[in-house]
Amino acid sequence: MERWRLRQSNKSKSNGAQDEKEGNCEVDEVTEDKEMNTEVEVLAEGNDVEKSDGTTEEAATKDGCDVYAYTRREEFTSENFKIELRGLPRFYHQLKKLLNETLKLNAHKLKPAGRAKNWAYVNFRDEAAREKALGVLEGYKWKKSTFKVSNAKPVEDPLVKIREEREASKKDDDPDSNLSIMERVSKSVIPYAHLSYEEQLEKKQKDALQVLRKYGSDLAHINPELAKFISFQKMRRKGQVCEVDDIVPSPVIDNYRNKCEFTIGVNPENGLPTVGFRTASYKEGSMHVAPVGHLRHLPQQMKSVVEEFEKFIRDSGLAPFSPLTHEGFWRQLNVRTTRNNDILIIPMMHPQDMNEEQLSDVKNKIVTHFTVGPGAPLGITSIFFKAFGQKEKGTEHVLELLWGQECITETILGKKFRVSPDAFLQVNTAAAEVLYDKIGSLAKLDSSSVLLDICCGTGTIGISLADRCHKVYGVEIVEKAADDAKYNAKENGLENVAVFTGKAEENMPFLMQHCTKANTVGIVDPPRAGLNNSVVFGLRKCETMKRLVFVSCDPSNAIRNFISLARPQSKQYKGEFFIPVRAVPIDLFPHTPHFELVILFERWDEQRWKRIMEGNPLPQDEEYFKHLPDKPKLQWK
Specify burial of residue 220 (Cβ count, 10 A radius: 0-12, 13-18, 19+). Answer: middle
SS3 at position 249:
coil
400 is in an annotated binding site: no
Q: Is there a contact between 384 and 397 (Cβ–Cβ < 8 Å)?
A: no
Torsion (CA) 114, 115, 118, 120 in degrees, nearest 10: 30
From 505, 531, 516, 518, select the one nearest 599 (Cα to Cα): 531
Long-range contacts of 480-483 (CB under 8 A, 24+ apart): 480/420, 480/422, 480/423, 481/420, 481/423, 481/424, 481/457, 482/456, 483/420
DSSP H or E stretch at residue 312: helix 300-314
Dist CA 220 CA 235 (whole Å): 14
Which residues, at least 6 apart from 574, have a Cβ–Cβ distance to it below 8 Å?
Answer: 537, 540, 541
Alpha carbons 325 and 63: distance in angstroms, whole number: 7
**Rounded CA gap, 210 and 239, in Å?**
10
CB–CB of 154/68 below 8 Å? Answer: yes
Crossing angle for the helix pair 356-371 and 300-314, to the nearest 10 degrees: 140
Judge whether 41 is annotated as a binding position.
no
Q: Please report, for residues 283, 296, 309, 377, the alpha-carbon distance to residue 302 in angstroms, rounded to integers and kept in the order given.
A: 27, 12, 11, 13
User: In 3-state terms, what secondary structure has residue 393?
Assistant: coil
Is the Cβ–Cβ distance between 22 and 66 less than 8 Å? no
Give phi and psi for 38, each to the nearest 5: -130, 20
Phi/psi at 129 (nearest 5 deg)? -65, -40
β-bridge mates for residue 278, sequence order:
289
| Cα Rg, the chain, nearest whole Å | 27
Q: Is 65 known to be catalytic?
A: no
Active-site residue, selected from the candidate residues 25, 455, 456, 553: 553
Contact 413, 427 (CB under 8 A): no
> Are the C-beta atoms of 427 and 259 separated by less than 8 Å?
yes
476 is in an annotated binding site: yes
Active-site amino acid positions? 553
Annotated binding site: 426, 476, 525
Annotated binding site for S-adenosyl-L-methionine: 426, 476, 525
